[in-house]
Chains A and B, each alone.
Chain A
Amino acid sequence: MDTARANRRLVIRLLGGSVLMFGFGFALVPLYDVFCEVTGLNGKITRTGAIETVEADTSRQVRVRLIGINNEGMPWEFSPQQSLLTVNPGEMKQTAFQAYNPTGRSMVAQAIPSVSPGVAAQYLHKVNCFCFNAQPLQAGARADMPLLFVIDKELPPEIHSITLSYTLFDITEAQAADNGSAEPDGGSPI
């Protein structure tokens, strides 16, 4: 019958539509990263790796505030060498965070960066950062974790000050479970 066929066709389309929307829910994850990059939402840093050296813009100074944060259950001492830097846009700046594992066991940490204001994130170019990799530390050991970054000269003029925070998460157990295999999926590797 006609109605029966029409119904069948419609049901298949609508089911297809809902499967598509289920997929769309997951597609929101990478879309969100693109969205973040475009709008500077959430201060995700996407620009990393080597960069051509350019001449620094000495006419302008930007205050860069560095913050080290421990997430829950992370007993390390973790703080920036210098809490406040003054940087010229275009200038390559080297600094470091100091970490110390006071516990009696060796642990692995992952540092997660975040920038405020969010729009500044796309102008902060990290050439090298300890946050690219998981950071193991033996019981009672100390480490200097290096950070090399450049602020883009295109930084909008109304931004005078940028905050760059690193939150340290204890991933010892996750690493042991993964046995150092693949990056956990779901989010972009930082």
Chain B
Amino acid sequence: MGMIRIIPLSCALILLSASAQAEWTLNLTPGVTEVSRSVYDLHMTIFWICVAIGCVVFGVMFWSIFHHRKSRGAKAHHFHEHTAVEVMWTLIPLGILVAMAVPATATLVDMYDPRDAKLDVQVTGYQWKWRYQYLDQELDFFSNLTTPREQISNTENKGEHYLLEVDRHLVLPTDTKIRFLLTANDVIHSWWVPALAVKKDAIPGFINEAWTQIDEPGLYRGQCAELCGKDHGFMPIVVEAVPPDQFEQWVAGMKAEKQAQQQASERTWTLDELMAQGEQVYLSSCAACHQANGAGLPPAFPALKGSAIAVGDVQAHIDIVLHGKPGTAMQAFAEQLSPAELAAVITYERNAWGNSTGEAVSPAQVSRVLAGEGAAEEGM
């Protein structure tokens, strides 16, 4: 029953594996920022202090178990009080705690100092995805899980980054102080990237902040840490840290892409193109609730297959996808997807799984609704 002997043993394993394997780990990551390293050091210091105390306490205990057993003829002594000893083992732990509190306070003070951040990124939690807005670069995108449904339901082999892969990375420059402003759209989420030692709750109606400064380029993966409903386990975070000049290029690239999207929504799309694009969008943005086969998970998430919306009035369909349905889990997708993507996914919903309206919704049609023209007068 020597749990205590397992601890140093597992520690040795931890140290070994940290160098041997990058992915499969037993211990906290030291991370890639100054703060994360000091957190790691603090963690290890306190761990070893606990191990030492454990050795002493359990040592005495097991010594008694072996030497003071009745079967060995031990006779019970009669002491049951000793003020000096009791005072001592109150004061010594107190001293140890003070010794722990000093470095802990220093690290905490450091974490609360977001001075001179060069880049502000707003992070918004949604059920169940993250939205990143680069406030001065005017970039704004959602980051969705890309692990195929087939891998989750075990019909396909799982990829290396199963459940930790997204369509758009949060690209950040290295060696730059970055401030995150966190909030949420619906329920409380928590944005956590272990390698940065940043975990902060994203609370609807409130703004929180955290900061980081990444030393090494690389991909750092994290997950939502606060239970936020059905797909809490399916909203990962991927941070891609790149050198500052590459970051500038990426920003320029994103801006160009935004323009291309605008052009895409202006050109004419065929029904097949819309269906192909629509299926992709559907699987990443809609299938979590309405399911890949359109059957939904009633009553919270209604079926689209044969539904009154998906085969009924097209304006009402566009309206609900763009603006959501208040009081239900149906979100507004107007900000999340481009007009072309919206048109494609609506077209897909109207023509998949035996919904055969044959109608193609054009990006232009969606853009008109987005611009406020042709808003359905009758409302919802």
Contact = CB atoms under 8 A, between A and B. Distances in A.
A75 B323 contact: yes
Interface stretch (B98-106, B152-160, B204-212): B204-212
Contact of B204 (A115, A140, A158, A167): A167
Q: In the complex, which range does the number of interface residues on chain B fall in? A: 35 or more
Contact of A73 (B112, B208, B326, B370): B326
A75 B324 CA distance: 8
Nearest to A102: B372
Contacts of A169: 205
A81 interface: no
A103 B207 contact: no
A100 B113 CA distance: 36
B327 A71 contact: no
Contacts of B176: none
A173 B327 CA distance: 10
A67 B205 contact: no
B124 interface: yes
Q: Is the interface of A mostly helix, strand, loop or mixed?
A: mixed
Most A CB within 10 A of own CB, among B208, B369, B380:
B208
A158 B370 CA distance: 43
A104 B379 CA distance: 5
Interface residues of A, number: 35
Nearest to A115: B207
Given A102-B372, A104-B378, A72 B117 contact: no
Contact of B205 (A71, A103, A117): A71
Interface stretch (B39-47, B161-169, B179-187, B338-346): B179-187
A70 B122 CA distance: 13
Nearest to B116: A160
B377 A104 contact: yes
Given A102-B334, A104-B319, 7 more contacts: A65-B135, A75-B332, A104-B377, A105-B379, A140-B375, A160-B115, A167-B205
Interface of A: 42-43, 65, 67, 69-75, 83-84, 100, 102-105, 112, 114-117, 139-140, 158, 160-161, 163, 165, 167, 169-170, 172-173
